[in-house]
Amino acid sequence: MRVITATNQNLEAAVEDKKFREDLFYRINVIPIHIPPLRERKLDIPILANHFLAKFNQINNKAVKTITPEAMHLFMRYSWPGNVRELQNLMERIVVIKETGEVCVDDIPGKMHTVSEKQAMQGAEISLPEEGVDFNEVVSNFEKELLLKALKKTGGVKNSAARLLKLNRTTLVEKLRRFNILTPS
C-alpha cells in the first residue's frame, strides 16, 4: 500500500512544536515533493484552465469551447490565493453557468479584474526551496518570458518590443539570437 499525503503546513516545525506525531512524520516522509503554489507557476495556468474547461464540459455535457486571450490575461495576472482548487472551482462555475460559447472577461468575477501592479508582481515572486535553485536558469527563463511577451504585445515588431523593454534594438536582437527566438525581420 502507498499513502500519498499533502499539506500546506511545515510538518518538521509541527513535529518540533509537538503538534504533529514524530513517528507518523517519519512514516509518511519517504519521498517529499514540493509543489510551488500556482502564483509561482504562471505558465501552468493556461494548461490547467483548458484542462478544467474540457473536464467540466464533459462532466456537465456543456459546450464552452475556448478561453479568450483577454480572459487568459486576467488569469495570468491574478495571484490565485486559493491555488489550483480556486482555478478548478472557477472553471466549473463558468462552464455550468455559461453552457456554450467561450470564456470572456465578462464571465470572470470582479475581484480578478482589479489586480494591482503590486499584486501582479507579488504573483511573480519566486520562493526558494530548501534545496535551492539554479539562479542562472531562473533568470534566463524569466528573461526569455519577458522577450516573448514583449514580442507578442507588439505583434513581433522588434523596434516596439525594444522600446517596451527599454532596450536598444541591437541588444534585443542579440538576446533573441541567444535564446534562439525566431521572428520575422
pLDDT digits (tens, 9 = 90+) for 88-139: 999 999 999 999 999 999 999 888 887 544 455 554 555 566 777 777 777 7
For the chain, strand residue ranges (E) read 63-67, 100-103
Residues 74, 93, single domain; the answer is yes
Residues 72, 119, single domain; the answer is yes
**Prediction pTM value:** 0.56
**Distance separating alpha carbons of residues 105 and 71, to the nearest angstrom:** 5
Residues 42, 28, single domain; the answer is no
Total domains, the chain: 3
Identity of the amino acid at 48: L
Q: Classify residue 18: in a domain, yes or no.
A: yes
Residue 57 has pLDDT above 60, yes or no: yes
Q: Classify residue 96: in a domain, yes or no.
A: yes
Identity of the amino acid at 12: E
Q: Classify residue 128: in a domain, yes or no.
A: no
Q: How many CA atoms lie within 13 A of 22 on its CB side?
A: 3
Q: Report which DSSP code applies to 177.
A: H
Residues 62, 83, single domain; the answer is yes
Q: Residue 154: which domain range?
A: 135-178
Which tens digits make up the pLDDT trace of 23-44? 999 988 888 888 888 988 888 9
